[in-house]
Amino acid sequence: MSESQSLPELCRFGALEVVDLLARGEVSPLELVEAAARRIETTDGAINALPTLCLERAREHARRIMAEGPKVERPAPWLGGLPVAIKDLEDVAGVRTTYGSPIYAEHVPARSDILVERLESRGAIVVGKSNTPEFGAGASTFNEVFGKTRNPWNLDKSVAGSSGGSAAAVAAGQVWLASGSDLGGSLRTPAGFNAVVGLRPSPGRVARGPAPLPFSTLSVAGPIARNAADAALFLDAMSGQHPEDPLSLPVPAASFLEAARAPQRPARIAYSPDLGLFPVEREVAGICLQAAERFAAMGVVVEEACPDLSDAVPVFQTLRAALYAAEMAPLLEGHRALLKPEVIWNTEKGLALSAAEIGRAELARAALYRRVSAFFETYDLLLCPTAIVAPFDVDVRYVEEVEGHRFDNYVEWIGITFVITLTACPALSVPAGFTAEGLPVGLQIVGPPRGEARALAAAALLEQATGIAEALPIDPRPAGHGAAAS
């Protein structure tokens, strides 16, 4: 095909397809960088997903890969020169990295995060940084440096957060893959709001750092992709031990891609409409129930059940606040006027905690893990909604009320994901369907401990049943475009 024909079409292909084209020499890394650049130029004025680009750096990287030629021994898995986006919480050497904060508005790190180093060593080419809330705090993507990111399915709606820029960029076809991170749902909620796949892996599955708190297990990095197989490919490229991450895990014997490409049907899964804790919009609950019933139609035993998570909300809020106190106290002391109110609240909450309160929360988390581990002796997977609401107005900072229930703070509305964080179990969001207004709804699939492969396989099976992944990428849609087919 001619360049004018091929470049736009390359953005329509999935990551696996493009990596295969690269391996066969039918497309070059440089052509892919230019295809991404054109798609970003066409769409980002509407959605503001990738406010910082590093295209010349990407072109130089592409030329290096091309100059090395096919005879160079490559690490596996090899992405071959595939352009990706990196969340603006993760350092990229020589590229403006703001963490969404005015404090770091002109920050340019000298070294990349080890996740980025690993991805670039395996043939990923960074084309830009994706937008995020300030320090990743909050589940809607806006900040004082770059403004708000808009949902490509409806430009009047939120992309959620904090990996909202990454999810929107993937949904709109600006890049084939993007990194995200997840503390309380920051990969899963944006994936649900943008009809893509976002996977929170087990702590240690993806090495990160150098980190100020390398032994913390609450926040992890993971992949965002258009479908389960692409997410599995990216997770394979992210995975592996690293000496600077003391929790990092070895690469498993079987690749995650194998699990997604030839998915095994689970025998028995649990479905909970609310984890026994949270209000859920009626339409969202109905769509997620229909998605769970698709597994029953495959011959899977589906039962309404849930582990005992009754104390998970206060436990998470305590441990999250303690984490904020450890990481953010120096910034609160030196730059209070430049921090958003939610960050100040969470940090001060942490500073007010006693050692006894933190100790009790850690003990309660351990007991919760034992209950969840026992639950997965009976069930292969746990399913529930990714979010308790559909995408909301882009100008709303956070959800304050659902089905008559008012929340006490800015993070409580994502409790359906953050209580899963406490379990250390891998969890992903996969598209479940669309509301009558055409807004995406995600289904959260929680695997047993270290069970990423099982969760990815189930996501692949659901994709086959819904066909939603085939609708991606989408062109940004103004409000009132109409409902999408599911």
Query: So which residues are the catalytic ones?
Result: 87, 162, 186
Angstrom distance (rounded) from CA 329 to CA 352: 12
- Of 442, 443, 430, 434, the closest CA to residue 477 belongs to 434
DSSP 8-state symbol, 248: P
The CA-CA-CA angle for residues 35, 40, 45, to 5°, reads: 155
Pair type for strands 142-143 and 147-148 = antiparallel
- Please tell me whether the peptide bond between 162 and the residue prior to it is cis, using omega within 30 degrees of 0: yes
Strand residues in 100-219 grouped as ranges (E): 124-130, 142-143, 147-148, 150-151, 154-158, 177-182, 197-200
Angstrom distance (rounded) from CA 380 to CA 390: 27
Q: What is the DSSP string of 52-119?
A: EE-HHHHHHHHHHHHHH-TTS---SS---SEEEEEETTS--TTS---TT-GGGTT---SS--HHHHHH
Question: How close are the terminal C-alpha atoms of the chain, in Å?
Answer: 32
